[in-house]
Amino acid sequence: MGKFQLITKGLVKENPTFVLLLGMCPTLATTTSAINGMSMGLATLFVLVLSNMAISATAPYIPDKVRIPAYIVIIAAFVTILQFIMQAFTPDIYKTLGLFIPLIVVNCIVLGRAEAFANKNSVVDSACDGIGIGLGFTIALTILGLVRELLGSGSAFGYKFIDGDGILVFVLAPGAFMALAYLIVLFKKLTAKKDE
């Protein structure tokens, strides 16, 4: 598989949100607006690329029986680094995402890619895989956030274009499930057509 395909497969064929349905906790919780969804996606992308590279580089030296604790420590280190950086330079976004930044440590996507891909492939391939899956996640979260923001508060990326409130339920938790469900349906329909 070429490097380009490694990146594109994460966008559509193995999209973590719409196809693999991984990392649902941050997906549902942080997508109250397009900006929030995008920030969460980019934060995960950052951790995913770095942890994929580090794990792929160290995998041959890590005994099989302790690989999971070793991976978790590596991932947690990158997440904490990200947390420090966000706290220092983007305090507003850090405040909005709050608890969900530390929770990237236990995001199934990150550990899943480490187990399924990074520990069996080269550093460069793992970086491409991380970029692909991370971008797929970012795009999915941005779309979901945009849909919820459009319907729920009548704005897009913070620019309001209606007076008053939208359909409030879409900003709340139940709306996350509804919006995600319809987006998955739409995604399946579009990708099914492509295969024919």
Partner 1 sequence: MIMAVQSSFKNMTLCLFAVCIVSSALLAAVYAVTKEPIEAAEHAKTVSAIAQVVPEFDGEPVSDTIEVAGKKYPYYAVSKGGQPVGYAITTSASGYGGAVTLMVGITADRVIYNTTVLSQAETPGLGAKCTEPEFADQFKNWNPAEKALKVKKDGGDVDAITASTITSRAYALAVETAVMVYDALAGQVPADGVTGATNTEAGTESDAAEAGVMETDKGE
3 state SS of 107: coil
Task: Tell the smallest beta-carbon distance from residue 126 to partner 1 (Å).
Answer: 13
Task: Tell the smallest beta-carbon distance from residue 58 to partner 1 (Å).
Answer: 8
Q: How many residues of this chain bind partner 1 (CB under 8 A)?
A: 33
Task: Tell the smallest beta-carbon distance from residue 63 to partner 1 (Å).
Answer: 4
Q: Which lies closer to partner 1 via its Cβ, residue 89 or residue 159?
A: 89
* Residue 73 lies near partner 1 (rule: CB under 8 A): yes
How many Å apart are CA 36 and CA 53, to the nearest integer?
A: 26
3 state SS of 31: coil
How many Å apart are CA 140 and CA 157, to the nearest integer?
A: 15
Helix ranges restricted to H, 32-107: 34-58, 67-89, 91-97
* Residue 61 lies near partner 1 (rule: CB under 8 A): yes
How many Å apart are CA 185 and CA 163, to the nearest integer?
A: 30
- The residues pairing with 155 across neighbouring beta strands, listed in sequence order, are 160
* Member of 21, 25, 57, 168 binding partner 1 (CB under 8 A): 168
How many Å apart are CA 86 and CA 128, to the nearest integer?
A: 24
Chain center to CA of 21: 11
* Member of 25, 158, 162, 165 binding partner 1 (CB under 8 A): 165
Q: Which residue has the tokens 């064929």?
A: 13
Task: Tell the smallest beta-carbon distance from residue 98 to partner 1 (Å).
Answer: 8
In this structure, what token pair is assigned to residue 7?
A: 């990146």
* Residue 174 lies near partner 1 (rule: CB under 8 A): no
Task: Tell the smallest beta-carbon distance from residue 84 to partner 1 (Å).
Answer: 4
Considering only the stretches 2-10, 14-22, 85-93, 135-143, report the one whose residues sit in contact with partner 1 under the rule CB under 8 A. Answer: 85-93
Task: Tell the smallest beta-carbon distance from residue 196 to partner 1 (Å).
Answer: 36
Considering only the stretches 1-9, 52-60, 138-146, 186-194, report the one whose residues sit in contact with partner 1 under the rule CB under 8 A. Answer: 52-60
Helix ranges restricted to H, the chain: 3-11, 24-30, 34-58, 67-89, 91-97, 108-116, 123-153, 173-195
Contacts with partner 1 by CB under 8 A lie at 32, 58-66, 69-70, 73-74, 76-77, 80-81, 84-85, 87-89, 91, 95, 119-120, 152-153, 165, 168, 171-172
